[in-house]
Amino acid sequence: MSYPSNSLLRVDDRIRKRNAAETRFKAYGITAIVIAVLALAVLLTSVLGSGLSAFRQTYLTVNVQLPEAKLDKSGVRDPAVMRKVTTIGYASLLRDGLLDTMQDAGITTQMSKKDVAKLISKEAPATVRNHVLANPEVIGTTMTFDLLAQGRIDGFFKGRVTLESAALDGNTSPEALMLAQELKEAGLLETRLNWDFLIAPDASDQRPEAAGLGVAILGSLYMMLVVLVLALPIGVASSIYLEEFAPKNRWTDLIEVNISNLAAVPSIVYGILGLAIFINFMELNQSSPLVGGLVLTLMTLPTIIISTRASLKSVPPSIRDAALGVGASKMQAVFHHVLPLAAPGILTGTIIGLAQALGETAPLLLIGMVAFVREYPAAFSPDAGLFGEASTALPVQIYNWTQRADPGFVERASGAIITLLVFLFIMNIIAIMLRRKFERRW
Amino acid sequence: MSLSLSVLLAIALSATAFLMAPRRALNLVSGDRRQLASLPKQFGLSAGLTVFLPAMLIALVGGLGGFSTTILPYIVIAVAVVALVVSVWQSRPDFIARNRAESLITLVLIAASGVAILTTVGIVMSMLFETTNFFQDYNWKDFFFSTEWSPNFRGDSALGILPLLWGTLYISFIALLFAVPIGLFAAIYLSEYAGPRLRSFAKPAIEILAGIPTIVYGLFALVTVGPFLRDYFATPMGFGQSASSVLTAGLVMGVMLIPFVSSLSDDIFNAVPQTLRDGSLGLGATNSETIRQVVVPAALPGIVGAVLLAASRAIGETMIVVLGAGAAARLSLNPFEAMTTVTVKIVSQLTGDTDFASPETLVAFALGLTLFVITLGLNVFALYIVRKYREQYE
Amino acid sequence: MLDHNRMDLEMHTQTKVKISAKDVQVHYGDTHAIKDVNVEIEDNAVTAFIGPSGCGKSTFLRCINRMNDTIDICRVQGDIRIDNEDIYDRRVDPVQLRAKVGMVFQKPNPFPKSIYDNVAYGPRIHGLANNKSEMDQIVERALRRGAIWDEVKDRLHAPGTGLSGGQQQRLCIARAVATEPQVLLMDEPCSALDPIATAQVEELISDLSKNYCVVIVTHSMQQAARVSQKTAFFHLGHLVEYGDTDKIFTNPEDPRTESYISGRIG
Ligand SMILES: Nc1ncnc2c1ncn2[C@@H]1O[C@H](COP(=O)(O)OP(=O)(O)O)[C@@H](O)[C@H]1O
Ligand SMILES: [Mg+2]
């Protein structure tokens, strides 16, 4: 259709070209967003896909005889004597128990007894031993235990290990997997939901099935406490000074530039600082939540200061004037009026800073938190002081597991990431709710 | 007596002062608080802080300065006791406790702002100190100009930074190549085109990317992206067999930087006054013409600043490269090959068995200092540009 | 009703109607900003919109080149025609419309580019010049029309933001006329200017009305009286009275107009 030359509806070549350019430009924008969202989706599915199974575990139900002759030679339940029986002693009991249980269920196999015993996790004897030591009265009876299955068996039921891969694997064999399948059909083996992953301590290289996050979560919790107790008051105090009291001069300019730079310093540099100052110079304990907390405090401080100053700035000057007008001192105006009004913003910023600190890995590697720790750290001990006992932390535990050879640890690391992300998610939700609840428009 | 015990005692003394000072002042006016020059609370605060602050200062400075640990606790307590006596004695009705309390609080506030300065000083000092130690054992020219990196814990290592810097810059370059266009276009689309529905979904999604810890990206690189690139690109195309590679680390780091670039540029686009957009639209420009020819040029300094900040992020990033880039120091152009970075080597030289007398350990501090100087330079410059840019439109 | 029609007819016979609006309603979310506005605006004349602030003058002005499309919550209903073409027709591209209906804003808003590039921007995107020398001519002509050529001809490549407020506003007017619009909308173009700059811009506006249909929003009744031939008085979103400027200022019909003119509202 053609329109008169000055009609609004006339579309000439130039307009067509310009509209095409507009469409193209929009397409770039949509592509960019699709790529970003897709990256998020792939990232999350890849982590969830390989990590969710960490919250399920395969167990063997085994009747184990606990003969007094073997477990307590004294016969009077003397703990010192009972302790002499090592996990190796228990391992043979478990092997015999498994063989008996199989026999009762009518399951036969060509495999050697030693290979059958490999179905049981190397962690299981220690678990049974601890149980017996804690409850000496069970000696002399036959008890039914749910024993951790070996990592490869666990992996078989989670789809990670196949008959083909087992054929090439020194730690298991297709026969072992077939046997496990038979046990499952007989109701003696089960893969089920299990929270031990969140509670148990780390386990050694050969035992991914037993490795848990207990120590790491505790360590992270301690560090977050240290960060909260130090970074919040120091951050708020210095923000109040800079925002409300500091004269505008070269010195405060310097502090200001300094803080925005600190916020952008690579986190690993804080690790070097922690190593040099807190460990080498002040001789605080390596791997301790105290040092980790101090390093993360210094790292989080700029974030908290920046967000606190923004919240203080958003309180209108008229509030300060009103307080000063009735004869309050500047200090009173700030502490009685400005600070409470800015509190929700400060809290939100603090939570976000804490979330950042919770996920931070690099600086903790340098202060020795990669160590293999199986003991739950105490918050206070006379030897090590407050938060001074060796510990690890959630993100570092993840890193640690990625460095292990056994592929079972990939599942553990991904499961740990899910745990970490859940914590971060909760923290962010709290921050968002705080902001919603107290949002104020002036 | 231990220092921490004396600190606890000093705290108890200051609590005593906090309780006693107002009581004494009130007693002197037989309980009529209107005759006091300040509120009773202020008397307590003033006295409490008068006891607490000097004692803490001495404990902190003495403790950090390595002062004799046998005498120090007694000095701390002596100071606290004297301060207690003086402050309670001072608490007469006409004493303007509020002024004292407020000056002391101001001191506390100033001290708190000093922490940020001390942190910087601590960073610089700790690295400078060990770096000078390092350069006593190892020729600085070899460090800065040698193209070989092969530490050897039996001595005779080659510790040239160039291959590490190359890996760092190569990976950062790929990351920025990926993140800058995507971040910019995402920000533009979301702020200038997207309807509320898309915005309410895509904006949080991109923000979530920003909240994910780098260790998660690292694992993603190690388990998913690395093997994918190897199996579908590197191996079929004959570029190598390595899952860890410059491209793996660069791409994953790029994903990490997308929200950083997009939120920074979002702020920067928002600072461009609406009147400029109106001016252009009012002349019959299309949206994209307005953005490309008016908004982006006006925002250019800010965008350059944002890109520099992103570059500094990329250069200092650790976990993604530790898990995704590999450990081999190499000067190569092949992006499918494993290379290593400054941060990776800091981690590997400072974890495990470290011997603070050997150059193989100390080199980490020189690397750290180099990294710090580079990122500091980028940050100062970028923040300066962004600040100037903001002021222009205020 | 009949009366009204006859008036319409008379206007048609005398002068050409450029813009006609019927039953225009504008909402910002729940705010009803423009209520039932009907108006016919003549070509080659200056029409002034006056009224107390917040009464909807800018809103109505921005309807004429669909600048309101850029505000998410803004909804326009009714019928606005330019040269008898419905500008809110679905087939009309607002971008093309704005090339035809230029706009000058309250605050001078030169782009952070050179003076030359500011003026050349519109012609460039609309492809009005084939080469550099044509563009030079267009820029020069526009700057002359904007009555600012003599002041800037020696520094065409200096940034436009470096000019004084009055110069900036004339630059913006030059920028608007450079695209050869047929209608020129001006939203309080002098409110950010000092009296001398205002006088210069007013003179320019009178000049422009020889070639363009000019619509100007103004806060100052003196200004309306000085520059316009027609005046429309808006109040609380209604178009209260519209007619010859002389008549509105000497003998208004509506009591609200009268009290505004004599300074009781506003
Ligand atoms: N962008 C907007 N969003 C919401 N309400 C608006 C917007 N612009 C104008 N309004 C409202 O529309 C009414 C008319 O405004 P406006 O046209 O700017 O008045 P005038 O230019 O006559 O002073 C006012 O009540 C104003 O609050
Ligand atoms: Mg207006």
| CA B278–ligand 2 middle distance (angstroms) | 14
A121 and A68 together in one domain? yes
The 10 Å Cβ neighbour count of residue C72 is 10
**Chains in contact with C, counting 3 or more C-beta pairs less than 8 Å apart as contact:** A, B
In a domain, A391, yes or no: yes
Kindly report which listed range (A3-7, C164-168, C243-247) carries the lowest average pLDDT score.
A3-7
A277 and A317 together in one domain? yes
Residue in chain B nearest C169 by alpha carbon? B279
Residue in chain B nearest A330 by alpha carbon? B102
Please give the helix or strand (H or E) that residue A100 lies within, else none.
Answer: helix A87-105
| CA C233–ligand 2 middle distance (angstroms) | 14
Give the integer Cα–Cα distance in Å for B57 and B35: 34
Higher pLDDT, B376 or A384: B376
User: What DSSP state is assigned to residue B79?
Assistant: H
Residue in chain B nearest C119 by alpha carbon? B283
What CATH number did the domain enclosing A305 receive? Answer: 1.10.3720.10
Q: What does the block give as tokens for A201? A: 């301590």
Interface test with A, best of C16, C83, C92, C96 (most A CBs within 10 A): C96
B279 contacts on C by Cβ (under 8 Å) = 105, 109-111, 172, 175
Q: What is the mean pLDDT of residues B363-390?
A: 92
CA distance C220 to chain A (A): 32
- Residues C68/C59, Cβ–Cβ less than 8 Å: yes
Residue among C20, C1, C32, C17 nearest C236 (CA): C32
DSSP assignment of chain C: -HHHHHHHHHHHHHS-EEEEEEEEEEEETTEEEEEEEEEEEESSSEEEEE-STTSSHHHHHHHHTTGGGGSTTEEEEEEEEETTEETT-TT--HHHHHHHEEEE-SS----SSBHHHHHHHHHHHHT--SSHHHHHHHHHHHHHHTT-HHHHTT-TTSBGGGS-HHHHHHHHHHHHHHT--SEEEEESTTTTS-HHHHHHHHHHHHHHTTTSEEEEE-S-HHHHHHH-SEEEEEETTEEEEEEEHHHHHHS-SSHHHHHHHTTS--
A231 and A165 together in one domain? no
Give the integer Cα–Cα distance in Å for C264 and A118: 99
pLDDT digits (tens, 9 = 90+) for C119-134: 999 999 888 888 999 9
**Domains of chain B, residue spans:** 3-108, 149-393
Give the integer Cα–Cα distance in Å for B130 and A70: 58
Kindly report the average pLDDT of chain A as a whole number: 90
| CA C106–ligand 2 middle distance (angstroms) | 8
Domain boundary among A149, A180, A210: A210
Q: What is the mean pLDDT of residues A237-241?
A: 95
Question: Tell me, what's the pLDDT at C213?
Answer: 94
Question: pLDDT band at residue C9, thresholds of 50, 70 and 90?
Answer: very low
Higher pLDDT, A370 or A57: A57
Question: Is the predicted pLDDT of residue C7 greater than 50, yes or no?
Answer: no
Domain boundary among A167, A183, A210: A210
pLDDT digits (tens, 9 = 90+) for A112-162: 888 888 889 988 999 899 888 888 888 888 889 999 999 899 999 998 888
| CA C228–ligand 2 middle distance (angstroms) | 18
Give the integer Cα–Cα distance in Å for C265 and B310: 56
A119 and A165 together in one domain? yes
| CA C237–ligand 1 middle distance (angstroms) | 10
Question: Tell me, what's the pLDDT at B53?
Answer: 92
Question: Is the predicted pLDDT of residue A104 greater than 70, yes or no?
Answer: yes
Question: Tell me, what's the pLDDT at B258?
Answer: 96
A141 and A96 together in one domain? yes
Q: Is the dihedral of CA A156, A162, A166, A167 positive or negative?
A: positive
Among protein residues, the one with the nearest Cα to ligand 1's atom 11 is: C33
Q: Using DSSP bridges, classify how beta strands C46-50 and C213-217 pair: parallel, antiparallel or unpaired.
A: parallel
Q: What is the mean pLDDT of residues B132-158?
A: 87
Count contacts between B and C (CB, < 8 Å): 72
Among protein residues, the one with the nearest Cα to ligand 1's atom 21 is: C58
The answer, for A17 touching chain B at a CB cutoff of 8 Å, is no
Among protein residues, the one with the nearest Cα to ligand 1's atom 25 is: C54
Chain A residues contacting C, CB < 8 Å? 6-9, 11, 14-15, 18-19
Q: Which-ligand-closest: CA of C56?
A: 1
Among protein residues, the one with the nearest Cα to ligand 1's atom 7 is: C28
Q: Which-ligand-closest: CA of C62?
A: 1
**Chains in contact with A, counting 3 or more C-beta pairs less than 8 Å apart as contact:** B, C
A80 and A180 together in one domain? yes
pLDDT digits (tens, 9 = 90+) for C139-166: 999 999 888 999 999 999 999 989 998 8
CA distance A3 to chain C (A): 11
Residue among B108, B15, B107, B2 nearest B62 (CA): B2
Give the integer Cα–Cα distance in Å for A420 and B222: 18
A353 and A395 together in one domain? yes
Question: Tell me, what's the pLDDT at C12?
Answer: 46
**Chains in contact with B, counting 3 or more C-beta pairs less than 8 Å apart as contact:** A, C
pLDDT digits (tens, 9 = 90+) for A5-52: 778 788 888 889 999 999 999 999 999 999 999 999 999 999 888 899
Q: Is the dihedral of CA B99, B100, B106, B110 positive or negative?
A: positive
Q: What does the block give as tokens for A311? A: 């919240």
Q: Does the beta carbon of C95 lie inside 6 Å of ligand 1?
A: no
**Phi/psi at C101 (nearest 5 deg)?**
-120, 95
A198 and A224 together in one domain? no
Instruction: Return the CATH fold of B149-393.
Output: MetI-like fold (1.10.3720)
Residues 6 or more apart whose CB falls under 8 angstroms from that of B27 comprise none
pLDDT digits (tens, 9 = 90+) for B339-358: 999 999 999 999 877 788 88
The partner residue sitting opposite A259, judged by closest CB among B116, B222, B368, is: B116
CB contact under 8 A, A15 and C97: no
Give the integer Cα–Cα distance in Å for B242 and B235: 8
Does residue B269 sit in helix, strand or coil?
helix
Question: Tell me, what's the pLDDT at C11?
Answer: 47
Question: Tell me, what's the pLDDT at B90?
Answer: 87
Question: Is the predicted pLDDT of residue A256 greater than 80, yes or no?
Answer: yes
Residue in chain A nearest C100 by alpha carbon? A8
Q: What does the block give as tokens for A111? A: 């495999």
A225 and A189 together in one domain? no
Residue in chain C nearest B279 by alpha carbon? C109
In a domain, A13, yes or no: no
Q: Best substitution site from C26, C27, C30, C58 to test ligand 1's pocket, by max atoms within 8 Å of Cβ?
A: C58
Q: Does the beta carbon of C149 lie inside 6 Å of ligand 1?
A: no
Q: What is the mean pLDDT of residues B312-325?
A: 95
pLDDT digits (tens, 9 = 90+) for A324-360: 888 788 899 999 999 999 998 999 999 999 999 999 9
| CA C24–ligand 2 middle distance (angstroms) | 18
| CA C224–ligand 1 middle distance (angstroms) | 21
DSSP assignment of B175-239: HHHHHHHHHHHHHHIIIII--HHHHHHHHHHHHHHHHS-HHHHHHHIIIIIHHHHIIIIIHHHTS
List the domain range (segments joined by +) for residue A315. 214-438
- Residues A152/A158, Cβ–Cβ less than 8 Å: no
Give the integer Cα–Cα distance in Å for A394 and B195: 39
Q: What is the mean pLDDT of residues B221-235?
A: 93
- Residues A235/A350, Cβ–Cβ less than 8 Å: yes
Half-sphere exposure in the Cβ direction for A222 (13 Å, CA): 25
Question: Tell me, what's the pLDDT at C31?
Answer: 93
In a domain, A4, yes or no: no
Higher pLDDT, A80 or A237: A237
Q: Which-ligand-closest: CA of C53?
A: 1
Count contacts between A and B (CB, < 8 Å): 258
Give the integer Cα–Cα distance in Å for C65 and A22: 20
pLDDT digits (tens, 9 = 90+) for B243-263: 899 999 999 999 999 999 999
CB contact under 8 A, C125 and B283: yes
> In DSSP terms, which residues pair with C47 in a beta bridge?
C215, C230
Where do we find the tokens 């606005």? C80
Question: Tell me, what's the pLDDT at A440?
Answer: 67
Q: What is the mean pLDDT of residues C72-87?
A: 92
Question: pLDDT band at residue A442, thresholds of 50, 70 and 90?
Answer: low
Q: Does the beta carbon of C19 lie inside 6 Å of ligand 1?
A: no
Does residue A197 sit in helix, strand or coil?
helix
CA distance A177 to chain B (A): 25
Question: Is the predicted pLDDT of residue C8 greater than 70, yes or no?
Answer: no
Question: Tell me, what's the pLDDT at B290?
Answer: 95
Q: Does the beta carbon of C57 lie inside 6 Å of ligand 1?
A: yes
In a domain, A7, yes or no: no
B393 contacts on C by Cβ (under 8 Å) = none
**Phi/psi at B86 (nearest 5 deg)?**
-60, -45
A149 and A218 together in one domain? no
CB contact under 8 A, B219 and A275: no
Does residue A195 sit in helix, strand or coil?
coil
Q: Is the dihedral of CA C216, C218, C222, C225 positive or negative?
A: positive
A29 contacts on B by Cβ (under 8 Å) = 185-186, 188-190, 193
Q: Which residues of C, range 224-263, sit inside 8 Å of B by Cβ?
A: none
Give the integer Cα–Cα distance in Å for B332 and B346: 21
* A349 to A231, A305, A308, A357, B63: CA distances (angstroms): 11, 9, 7, 12, 33
The partner residue sitting opposite B186, judged by closest CB among A32, A301, A420, is: A32
CB contact under 8 A, A6 and C182: yes
Q: Does the beta carbon of C31 lie inside 6 Å of ligand 1?
A: yes
- Residues C115/C157, Cβ–Cβ less than 8 Å: yes
Q: Domains in chain C, please, with CATH?
A: 42-66+91-261 (3.40.50.300)
- Compute, in degrees rounded to 10, the torsion defined by CA atoms A108, A109, A115, A119: -60
- Residues A265/B116, Cβ–Cβ less than 8 Å: no
The partner residue sitting opposite B219, judged by closest CB among A273, A281, A402, is: A402
Give the integer Cα–Cα distance in Å for B48 and B104: 10
For chain A, give the percent of residues with pLDDT over 70: 99
The 10 Å Cβ neighbour count of residue A69 is 9
Question: Tell me, what's the pLDDT at B157?
Answer: 82
Q: Which-ligand-closest: CA of C107?
A: 2
The partner residue sitting opposite A329, judged by closest CB among B98, B130, B380, is: B98
Provide the domain count of chain A: 2
Question: Tell me, what's the pLDDT at A10?
Answer: 80
Question: Tell me, what's the pLDDT at A441?
Answer: 62
Residue in chain B nearest A33 by alpha carbon? B186
In a domain, A18, yes or no: no
Higher pLDDT, A382 or C54: C54
| CA C188–ligand 2 middle distance (angstroms) | 7
Q: Does the beta carbon of C68 lie inside 6 Å of ligand 1?
A: no
> In DSSP terms, which residues pair with C31 in a beta bridge?
C28
CA angle B257, A271, A220 (to 5 degrees): 85
In a domain, A140, yes or no: yes
Q: Best substitution site from C28, C32, C219 to test ligand 1's pocket, by max atoms within 8 Å of Cβ?
A: C28
Residues 6 or more apart whose CB falls under 8 angstroms from that of C220 comprise C190
A255 and A128 together in one domain? no
CB contact under 8 A, B297 and C112: yes
CA angle B273, B279, B281 (to 5 degrees): 110
The sheet carrying C85-86 orders its strands as C31-42, C17-28, C74-82, C85-86
A272 and A300 together in one domain? yes
* A290 to A221, A229, A367: CA distances (angstroms): 11, 12, 11
Residue among C104, C117, C63 nearest C202 (CA): C104
In a domain, A94, yes or no: yes
Q: What is the mean pLDDT of residues C250-258?
A: 91
The 10 Å Cβ neighbour count of residue B296 is 17
Question: Is the predicted pLDDT of residue A384 greater than 90, yes or no?
Answer: no
pLDDT digits (tens, 9 = 90+) for A386-397: 888 889 999 999
In a domain, A425, yes or no: yes
Domain boundary among A195, A210, A225: A210
pLDDT digits (tens, 9 = 90+) for C11-46: 444 578 999 999 999 999 999 999 999 999 999 999
pLDDT digits (tens, 9 = 90+) for B21-60: 989 988 888 888 788 888 888 899 999 999 999 999 998 8
